[in-house]
A and B are shown apart, each in its own frame.
Chain A
Amino acid sequence: AQSVTQPDIHITVSEGASLELRCNYSYGATPYLFWYVQSPGQGLQLLLKYFSGDTLVQGIKGFEAEFKRSQSSFNLRKPSVHWSDAAEYFCAARSYSGNTPLVFGKGTRLSVIA
């Protein structure tokens, strides 16, 4: 079955430190890949997406993600975290073939400390 795994439920980083959130997918073929962010009580905001081409994808708010086919991973990174980055982050995937729904990981909650 198609699935997306985010191994880390909760991560705490210091403001100004670097961040990496992990995401692994299990699909028959490389899917479309997305990262969304959700602030408390809000909807999901798209950070970035990967469809094909360059494996390093730039997104909004200074985030980037790297697609690694050999590891079935699509990890999200940010060089320097700001307190406003505290939120829940969701990795999602959708199959290339046909009109199929997004499959989400369980999410990683990011806390930022001073």
Chain B
Amino acid sequence: KAGVTQTPRYLIKTRGQQVTLSCSPISGHRSVSWYQQTPGQGLQFLFEYFSETQRNKGNFPGRFSGRQFSNSRSEMNVSTLELGDSALYLCASSLATTGSDDTQYFGPGTRLTVL
């Protein structure tokens, strides 16, 4: 079974631009979560989508948004980019079963550099 895929792998943008990142979950997984990873803050939760609905949201400004499509693929968008948005953005998918085994599996990430 193919793993979580993220595109693009690398992006360079300038301040003020916007960017869209894409994530395709493992086949059959219904939940997609997004994380931002920086050297200073570590891994921080952005949001989670399940059945096209945002189920959880982290403490990030409204410039960060996302959506999920009917095939469970997800996109996240960052508008009005700031230098501090430079980070590795990780996507994770899970079966989203209630109860025990809801393990998250991660993609390789998208490295965003804002100049």
Given the contacts A41-B111, A45-B106, A90 and B43 also touching, CB distance less than 8 Å: yes
Are B42 and A36 in contact (CB-based, < 8 A)? no
Interface residues on A, range: 20 to 34
**Which residues of the other chain, A, contact B6 by a CB distance below 8 angstroms?**
43
- Chain B binding surface, main DSSP class: strand
Q: How far is the CB of B2 from chain A (nearest CB, A)?
A: 14
Are B103 and A46 in contact (CB-based, < 8 A)? yes
Q: Tell me the complex Cα distance, A104–B104, Å.
A: 12
Are A101 and B109 in contact (CB-based, < 8 A)? no
With an 8 A cutoff between CB atoms, is A100 at the interface?
yes
**Which residues of the other chain, A, contact B101 by a CB distance below 8 angstroms?**
51
B residues sitting closer than 8 Å to A (CB atoms) are 4, 6, 33, 35, 42-43, 45, 48, 50, 55-56, 58, 90, 92, 96, 98, 100-109, 111
A-B contact pairs, 12 of them (CB 8 A): A34-B103, A43-B4, A43-B6, A43-B90, A46-B105, A46-B106, A51-B101, A101-B33, A102-B45, A104-B35, A104-B43, A107-B42
